[in-house]
Structure 1
Amino acid sequence: MAQKFFEEREDQSEVKARIVSKYFYAWANVILPSAAANNSKIAYIDLFAGPGRYKDGAVSTPLMILEKAIATQKLRDNLVTMFNDENPSHTKNLEGEIAKLDGVNTLKYKPEISTGSVGEAIADQLATVKLVPTFSFIDPFGYKGLSLKLINGAIKDWGCDCVFFFNYNRINAGVSNSIVDKHINALFGEEVATELRSELTGLTPSEREQLILEKLAQAIKALGGKFVLPFRFRNASGTRSTHHLVFVSKHEKGYEIMKEILYKESSTHDQGVASLEYSPASARTPLLFSLQQPLDKLGSELLSLNKGKTISVLDIYKSHHVDTPFIKRNYKECLLQMEAQSAISAAPVKRRKGTMADEVMITFP
C-alpha cells in the first residue's frame, strides 16, 4: 500500500504536504527567537517519511521541509531533522534524494535517516526523552503505530506541536472489528474506545464521523493537547470522508496559525467561513456547497452569549473561536454586518469605513 501511495501524487497528497510545510515554516519563525535565547536547537521529525519523491517527480514533505531550511539561514544553523520509514527502499531512496538537494551541505546538522517500524519502542522514547522545540509529522498509511502515547510524546515538551494523519475510513471500520481492538484502544485509550463502540450503534454516517472525531479530540485534550484541529479530506465525488489531517498544540498561537493556513487550503468558503476540508467535487463547483450561512448563525450566537455586555472585538474572538471554524476576520465581518443592521453598537463610531479593529468596544443589547 505504501509503495502504491507514492506511485503518483494525488491532489490530496499535494494539499497535505503544503499544509505541513506551511505550518512548519510559520512555527519555526515563532519558535526560533525563544529557542535561540535559550541556546536551543529546533527539530522536525517525520516518522513515516516515504521515499522523498513521487513517481511523477514531485517532491513530498521531507524535501519540501529541507528546501525551506536550506533557503533560510536561521533554519540552516538551528534545525535538526529526523526522518524514519519502515521500508528500507524508501529510506535508501530518500537518502539519495536529500543528497541531491542544492545547498544541502550548508545545513549545520545533517538530516538523520532511520529505518524501522513505529510502535511501542518509539512511543516510549518520545515519552521519556526531553525534546527541544519540535514539530512532528506522523503520517501512517493505515493506523498501525499511531497511538495516544505517541501523540502525547510528540507534544509534551515546550514548543512541540504535531500533525498526524487520521485514516477515517480504516478507523471507522476498525472500531467495531475485535481483531484490531489493540490498535483502536491505543489510539483512543481503552476506556474511550469502549465508550465509542457502544455509542456508535444506530448512528448515521455523519453522526458516526462527528462522534469519532469528538472522542479523539477529548482523548488528546485529556493528555494536555489543548488545541485540536481536524481538516477533512473527501473522496473524488465529495460524497464521503476518507481521512483527516489532525493538528495538535498546547498553545493558542499555533492553533490560530494553523487555522489561517487551513482557511486558505479549504475547498469552499461560505460567507467567508472556511469549510476546513478539501473536497475535489466542491472545489470544482464551490457555489453549490455554500448554503449554510454560518456568519448569520455566528451573529445570533454572539448576541445570545454576550447579552448586555460591552466587550472588545479581540475578547469576543478569544472567548469564542476555539473548536469553531471561524478565524478573526470572520468575527470582524460578522460584527460589521451586525453594526450596519443596528443589532449592536460599536465605539468609536467614527472609524475608517469597513474596519473593526481589535480594540473597538462592542455593546450588545
Structure 2
Amino acid sequence: MPSSQKFFEERTDQSEVKARIIQKYFFAWANIIKGTAKQLDNKIAYIDLYAGPGRYKDGAASTPLLVLEHAIADADLANMLVALLNDKDPANASTLEDEINKLVGIEKLRYRPQISNGEVDDDAAKYFSSTRLIPSFSFVDPFGYKGLSLEIIKGVIKDWGCDCVFFFNYGRINAGISNPMVRSHMNKLFGEERAEDLRLQVEGKDPALREAMILEALSGEIKSLGGKYVLPFTFKNSTGNRTSHKLIVVSKHFKGYDVMKDIMAKESSVHDQGVPSLTYSPADASTPLLFSLQRPIEELEQDLIETFAGRELNFDEIYEEHSIDTPYIRQNYREILKKMESDGSVTAASATKARRGMTYPPHVKIKFRVK
C-alpha cells in the first residue's frame, strides 16, 4: 500500500489543526482578493498538488473537501472558484472525484473541480514558472519532501494575488540535510549554494539550534524568490519533545501575513503572557526557542524603545514595521503600548478628535521618547 494511502487511514489531531488553519486562511485570503478579482477575470483558484482521496478512513473530510463545502455555501465563491486538485496516486484521484460528486450542492459551483493525476516534478515546476496564474491559493502537502522545491513555490506565488502554504515533514528534512543520498532533493528545497552552507553549519549543533538554522535558511531562500512574508507554524510529536512537521505560509503582502498569524495564534497550544507559541503540541509541552519567533513579552517593550526612539507613528505603522518574524500579535502591541504610555515612554495624541479608550485608532500618533 502506498504511503500516501496509509497517511489517510487515520486522522490525527495534527491533521485537524492543519486542515483548520488552511481552511480559515483560504477563506480569509479569498475575502481579501475577490473584490479586485471580480474586476479582472472574476475567478480565483484553489490549487492542491497533493490532494489525497478526500476523506480519512473515519469519514472526516480532508482539506480539499472542506474548501469546496465552504465554497458551495458562499455565493461569491461558488461563482468564482476554480479548484485544481492533483494527486499522483490514481486511486486517490479517483476516490477524490467520487467524494466531490457526493457533496451536497456541488452543482452550485460555476466551475467543476478539475482533478489531475500526476507527479509534482520538474515538468510541473516549469509549468507553474511559465504559466500566468489567476489569483490562486496553493497548498503543497507532500508525503515527506519529494516534489517540494523552490521552483514550485516561486511558480505558484509569482503572479498577483497568489499565496502559498506548504506542509512538510521536518524530521525527514532534518535527516536529509546531511544525507548524500537525497542531496538533490535538499538542493531543490534550499537552493544548491544555501544547502551546501547549511550542511556545514548544522554539523554537531544541538536540535533546537539546528532547527532554527534550517528554518532560517529555508525562509531566507523563499524571501529571495519574492515571498516577502514567510510565517512558520510548528507541529510537535505526541510527547511534545520533538518537532514533527512545519506549516509555512508564503505571501507577498503584509495583510496575508497578518491574517495568518492571527489564525495560527488561535491554534497555538501555549500562550506565554499572551504571546502565542505558533506551535501545536498534543502534550502542550514547552518548546525550544527558534531564532526571533519565540521571545518573552518583556523583550517587546525594550525592542520598541530601541527601534522607534524619537519617531512618531500610528499603531498600524508600528505593527507592520516591527511584527515581521516575531510571534507578537496586535493585542500584545496594544497592551505593551498602553503600559508604555502609562510609564511615559511614549505619548499618544490626536490632532483631529478626542481619543476613545486605548485602542490606538489610525488618527492617533504615538511618539516614542528619545533615548
TM-score scaled by length of structure 2 = 0.93
Residues 1:359 and 2:351 are matched in the alignment: no
Residues 1:16 and 2:8 are matched in the alignment: no
1:265-317 CA-to-partner distances (Å, cap 9, x unmatched) read: 1111112111111011118x99xxxxx87222100110111222333222211
SS at 2:328's partner residue?
coil
Distance in 2, Cα, partners of 1:293 & 1:155: 30
| Contact 1:271-1:293 within 8 A present in 2 as well | no
Which residue in the other structure is 1:251 paired with? 253
SS at 2:61's partner residue?
coil
Match of 2:320 among 296, 318, 321: 318
Matches within 5 A, 1:179-328: 179-282=181-284, 294-328=296-330
1:46-89 CA-to-partner distances (Å, cap 9, x unmatched) read: 00001101111110001000001100111111111011111111
SS at 2:57's partner residue?
coil
1:189-232 CA-to-partner distances (Å, cap 9, x unmatched) read: 10110010111122111010000000001111111111100100
Q: CA deviation at 1:42?
A: 0.8
Report the more deviating stretch, 314-323 or 53-62. 314-323
Distance in 2, Cα, partners of 1:331 & 1:99: 47
Residues 1:43 and 2:45 are matched in the alignment: yes
Q: Tell me how many residue pairs correspond in the alignment.
A: 359
1:117-158 CA-to-partner distances (Å, cap 9, x unmatched) read: 111111111010100001000000100011000000010000
Unpaired segments ≥5 residues, structure 1: 287-291
SS at 1:280's partner residue?
coil
Distance in 1, Cα, partners of 2:322 & 2:203: 32
Specify whether residues 235 and 314 from structure 1 end up closer, same or farther in structure 2 by C-alpha distance, changes over 3 A only.
same
Distance in 2, Cα, partners of 1:124 & 1:306: 44
Amino acid at match of 2:161: G
Which residue in the other structure is 1:31 paired with? 33
Distance in 2, Cα, partners of 1:203 & 1:360: 47
Q: CA deviation at 1:350?
A: 6.7
Q: CA deviation at 1:179?
A: 0.4
SS at 2:284's partner residue?
helix
Residues 1:62 and 2:64 are matched in the alignment: yes
Distance in 1, Cα, partners of 2:358 & 2:315: 14
> What root-mean-square deviation, in Å, do the aligned CA atoms of Structure 1 and Structure 2 show?
1.7
| Contact 1:83-1:114 within 8 A present in 2 as well | yes
Which residue in the other structure is 1:154 paired with? 156
| Contact 1:270-1:293 within 8 A present in 2 as well | no
Which residue in the other structure is 1:289 paired with? none
Q: CA deviation at 1:354?
A: 4.2
Q: CA deviation at 1:364?
A: 2.1
Matches within 5 A, 1:87-166: 87-166=89-168
Report the more deviating stretch, 355-364 or 207-216. 355-364
| Contact 2:295-2:327 within 8 A present in 1 as well | no
Distance in 1, Cα, partners of 2:139 & 2:74: 21
| Contact 1:81-1:112 within 8 A present in 2 as well | yes
TM-score scaled by length of structure 1 = 0.95
Amino acid at match of 2:40: N
Distance in 1, Cα, partners of 2:149 & 2:295: 37
1:299-341 CA-to-partner distances (Å, cap 9, x unmatched) read: 0110111222333222211221111111222211110122223
Q: CA deviation at 1:3?
A: 1.6
Distance in 2, Cα, partners of 1:312 & 1:37: 32
| Contact 2:78-2:108 within 8 A present in 1 as well | yes
SS at 1:54's partner residue?
coil
Which residue in the other structure is 2:291 paired with? none
| Contact 1:40-1:132 within 8 A present in 2 as well | no
Unpaired segments ≥5 residues, structure 2: 288-293
| Contact 2:355-2:364 within 8 A present in 1 as well | no
SS at 2:215's partner residue?
helix
| Contact 1:42-1:134 within 8 A present in 2 as well | yes
| Contact 2:223-2:229 within 8 A present in 1 as well | yes
Distance in 1, Cα, partners of 2:279 & 2:227: 22
SS at 2:164's partner residue?
strand
